[in-house]
Structure 1
Amino acid sequence: MDTPALTIYFDGACAFCRAEVNALRGRDRRGALAFIDIAAPGFSEFPPGADMAALQAQLHSVTRDGRVLRGLDSMQAAYALVGLGWMVLPLRVRMLRPPLEWAYVQFARHRYRISRLLGLSSPAPAPQCDDNVCRPGSPWLKG
């Protein structure tokens, strides 16, 4: 079997993340993408140089040649591979990159709450992120 052009490590406990992965899968007609759910029981296939805290803090992916991409770079690569590069064109504008990175970090930190606000559901109680580390049962989830 051919190695995919990009392997994406996503949080399957995040309803928004699952929806995005499903959308990418639906557009991936060439089989360029592979997906690994970091919330799956027994997950242990970490990308080089990453631990669970890093994977929870931002999206990670690994290119066919072994480069590790993080955050917006992962998104940019994935969208380009499924023919949606135009959607992430602002990520290439140097002046826009810092505020977009800030917004991405905020989104990633609050992705479970945002999923709920969007009416998306999670399969299990979603962990909440504190200091870029997500833990199930955090008191932030209450209320």
Structure 2
Amino acid sequence: MTPTTDPLYPLILYYDSRCPLCTAEMQNLMRRDRAGQLRFADIWAPDFAGPPGSATFDDLLALIHARGANGQVLRGVEVFRRAYEAVGLGWVTAFTRWPVLGPLADRAYPVLARNRYRLPRWLIAPLFERASQRAARQRCDANGGCDLP
């Protein structure tokens, strides 16, 4: 199914805004979400309400979660697969669907998530911030008007 017809979309991504890696990745996705298939919920926001009955705050801190329009709750790498597909970048996570690499990615992600605050900013910038800036420029017209969330 394509994101426009998939009952999972729009997909709400629950992310940790206190994590530089998480914030950079979400900003990149926000800027690329031209079709409006994604929603973003900062788990540290004062008015935050998580996915109903499915995850505690500690669960949300441990792994990224998302909730589909159909109520389905996703966790871990599957969230990234679906989010990147929604913005037309499914190729970025395509390898995580391969028979050997997919299960490996699913097992490696919790380790990355646990250690995300230890990642230096000089590593995060090349991964997401520059890509996010490119996405922002693509959404701006010649007169300087931008279509950004």
- The reply to whether residue 29 of structure 1 matches residue 31 of structure 2 is no
Note closer, same or farther for the CA distance 1:58–1:52 as it changes in structure 2 (3 Å cut): same
- The reply to whether residue 47 of structure 1 matches residue 68 of structure 2 is no
- The reply to whether residue 73 of structure 1 matches residue 78 of structure 2 is yes
Aligned counterpart, 2:20: 15
Matched length: 117
User: Does the aligned pair in 2 maintain the 1:4–1:31 contact within 8 Å?
Assistant: no
Superposed, which structure 2 residues align to 1:95-114 within 5 Å? 95-114=100-119
Structure in which a larger fraction of residues adopt helix: 2
Distance 1:95 1:58 in 2: 21
Q: Which of 92, 102, 117 is residue 87 of structure 1 equivalent to?
A: 92
Distance 1:53 1:117 in 2: 28
Query: Structure 1 residue 11: deviation in Å?
Result: 0.3
Note closer, same or farther for the CA distance 1:100–1:4 as it changes in structure 2 (3 Å cut): closer
> In structure 1, what residue type is equivalent to 2:32?
R
Unmatched tracts of structure 2, length 5 or more = 1-7, 126-149
Aligned counterpart, 2:123: 118
Query: Structure 1 residue 104: deviation in Å?
Result: 0.8
The percentage of aligned residue pairs carrying the same residue is 42
Deviations 1:15-71 (A, max 9, x none): 11111111001110011110000022342x111310011101100001111100000
Q: TM-score, normalised by structure 1?
A: 0.75
CA RMSD, 1 decimal = 1.8
Unmatched tracts of structure 1, length 5 or more = 121-143
> In structure 2, what residue type is equivalent to 1:41?
P
Distance 1:37 1:14 in 2: 11
Structure in which a larger fraction of residues adopt strand: 1
